[in-house]
């Protein structure tokens, strides 16, 4: 009887866990749909402004900016932004990002590069505290990062980079490629690679543009905007990847709970049958003894 009570109690606990994980899966699905729509809406703008900066820069080889050219090698000081989640239950999402970040940090230390680290997400804060790695600032953007909040971060990065506090600025995040593929990525924000020529120039048909206002004024306005947009897209990709991986993890947990529940039910039925058989045997033996 005691064994039956234990099994029945475990069955109730597993059913409760299954309901919780199913609910979390449904919430993650709703958040993933909303986040993927936001990321899909901003991606064309990100790609277009990047192409525009490349096209304009390709027609202004004399233009000089620290945001493009940057300091000469070797890099001695670097800014690193690590984007993780505030919550767990999302599979290997945080683990893969933090692993990529730790590998980059160790490579920088081996090369003698001084790092300034900032993070977004509680998981990164706890990880770096455990690793005894100093974090300058923690940003809280939540599940729906706004462009204004990301813009403030980007303005600080651009300002400090232009003042010569860093030789490079990079961001570590989970890049969303498809529902089946999310890749931890270390992306260089600054300095931007010097854009190459346009397709027409490469084919030998050089195109000459007249810019109004001047190309310098255009690039001075477009390049900071492009950096902010790329960083905003990184945050959007990170949120989409997080919700996708949480949805998959909770679906697997729900299925495991159902399978474990079926296993416990079989154990319960066998124990119950064994108990009934024992009781019948005792009754029959007692009746036989009275004859």
Stated pTM of the model? 0.81
Rounded Cα distance between 186 and 202, Å, is: 29
Burial annotation 124-134 (CB, 10 A radius, 16+ → b, else e): bbebbeeeeee
pLDDT of residue 244: 93
Q: Report the distance separating Cα 163 and Cα 165, nearest Å.
A: 6
pLDDT of residue 201: 47
For residue 251, the model assigns a pLDDT of: 92
What's the CA gap between 149 and 126, in Å, rounded? 22
Residue matched to tokens 């706004």? 146
CATH of 26-199+208-247, one of 1.20.120.330, 3.40.1380.10, 3.40.1440.60, 3.40.50.1980: 3.40.1380.10
Q: Look at phi and psi of residue 115 and say left if phi exceeds 0, alpha if psi is from -120 to 50, else beta.
A: beta
- Two tokens at 152? 């403030």
Give the residue extent of every domain in the chain: 26-199+208-247
pLDDT tens for each residue of the chain, 291 residues long: 568 888 888 889 999 999 999 999 999 999 999 999 989 998 998 888 888 887 777 766 666 677 776 555 677 899 999 999 998 888 899 999 999 999 999 999 998 889 999 999 899 999 999 999 999 999 988 888 999 999 999 999 999 988 888 888 999 999 998 888 899 999 988 887 655 444 444 444 455 566 677 777 788 788 889 999 999 999 999 999 999 999 999 999 999 999 999 998 888 888 888 878 877 787 777 777 776
Phi, psi angles (nearest 5°) of residue 208: -105, 130
What radius of gyration do the chain's Cα atoms show? Answer: 29
Q: Kindly provide the b/e burial profile for residues 39-49, where b requires at least 16 CB atoms within 10 angstroms of the residue's own CB.
A: beebeeebeeb
By DSSP bridging, strand 114-120 and strand 137-139 are parallel
Tell me if 21 sits within 8 A of 257, measured CB to CB: yes
């Amino acid at each position: 009887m005691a064994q039956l009570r234990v099994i029945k109690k475990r069955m109730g606990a597993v059913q409760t866990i299954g309901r919780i994980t199913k609910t979390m899966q449904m919430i993650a699905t709703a958040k993933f749909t909303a986040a993927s729509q936001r990321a899909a809406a901003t991606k064309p703008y990100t790609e277009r402004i990047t192409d525009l900066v490349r096209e304009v820069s390709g027609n202004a080889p004399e233009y000089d900016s620290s945001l493009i050219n940057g300091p000469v090698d070797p890099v001695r000081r670097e800014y690193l932004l690590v984007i993780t989640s505030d919550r767990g239950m999302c599979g290997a999402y945080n683990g893969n990002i933090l692993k990529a970040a730790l590998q980059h940090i160790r490579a920088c230390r081996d090369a003698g590069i001084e790092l300034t680290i900032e993070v977004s997400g509680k998981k990164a804060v706890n990880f770096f505290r455990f690793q005894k790695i100093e974090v300058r600032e923690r940003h809280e953007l939540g599940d729906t990062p706004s462009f204004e909040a990301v813009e403030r971060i980007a303005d600080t990065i651009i300002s400090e980079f232009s003042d010569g506090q860093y030789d490079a600025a990079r961001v570590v995040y989970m890049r969303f490629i498809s529902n089946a593929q999310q890749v931890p990525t270390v992306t260089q924000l600054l300095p931007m690679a010097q854009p190459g020529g346009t397709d027409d120039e490469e084919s030998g048909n050089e195109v000459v543009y007249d810019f109004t206002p001047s190309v310098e004024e255009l690039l001075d306005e477009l390049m900071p905007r492009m950096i902010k947009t790329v960083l905003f897209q990184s945050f959007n990709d990170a949120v989409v990847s997080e919700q996708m991986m949480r949805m998959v993890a909770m679906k697997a947990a729900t299925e495991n709970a159902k399978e474990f529940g079926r296993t416990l039910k079989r154990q319960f039925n066998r124990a119950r049958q064994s108990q009934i058989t024992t009781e019948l045997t005792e009754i029959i033996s007692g009746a036989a003894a009275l004859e």
